[in-house]
Chains A and B, each alone.
Chain A
Amino acid sequence: DSGVTQTPKHLITATGQRVTLRCSPRSGDLSVYWYQQSLDQGLQFLIQYYNGEERAKGNILERFSAQQFPDLHSELNLSSLELGDSALYFCASSSGTGWTTNEKLFFGSGTQLSVL
């Protein structure tokens, strides 16, 4: 068990809908990362937050947004969903700030999103 909790484990929805994925980082970790894993794109970095502030942005679509709350949990919001958004979405946390390298990421078990 990595200590990172993601809910829900599975999510089935329809095109055009909006969903929210939730992540609770390991106790004490201030950085939260979101990754998307699909069969054709592999594991893609989406966005990182540190202590409530956006720290780095990767291949995140404009239809997607995220935030980190004062209690450090994070939510990833996916809107106007398309079939191609079906993927496994992982949250990871680390104890670092994200400004330095050598920060090990601890991943949750992921949320499997299926857009029908």
Chain B
Amino acid sequence: GESVGLHLPTLSVQEGDNSIINCAYSNSASDYFIWYKQESGKGPQFIIDIRSNMDKRQGQRVTVLLNKTVKHLSLQIAATQPGDSAVYFCAENIEPNNNDMRFGAGTRLTVKP
């Protein structure tokens, strides 16, 4: 079946460097995508979202890029900090008329001081 997946299960970066976390989705009908951050012992926390009519959206230190041609989503974190260490999930809204968000497997980001 169709699913959301991640290219890299783990990512280790140096503090201050930029991080890029990738996600592949297979449902071309998905019209809304969210990146969530999950720290140890906590629930997922909303980071940034993007609708399918956009290809880029920026937040504070984060940018999400959407490439519908290849069904690819990425999260860029600028000047990565130790507090960014967490598991990052991409999620897609596979049904346009409800909020059934399907989550990818997650990427663990580790920031080295």
Chain A contact residues, CB within 8 Å of chain B? 2, 4, 31, 33, 35, 42-45, 48, 55-56, 58, 90, 92, 94, 96, 98-110
Contacts and interface: CB of A to CB of B under 8 A. Distances in A.
Interface string B92-104: 0101111111111
Nearest to B32: A101
Interface residues of B, number: 27
B98 A48 contact: yes
Of A33, A43, A55, A94, the most chain B CB neighbours within 10 A belong to A43
A13 B52 CA distance: 43
Contacts, number: 73
B31 A101 contact: yes
A102 B106 CA distance: 21
Given A102-B32, A102-B51, A45 B45 contact: no
B88 to A, nearest CB: 12
B98 A56 contact: yes
Given A45-B100, A45-B101, A94-B99, A104 B44 contact: no
Contacts of B34: 104-105
Contacts of A31: 99
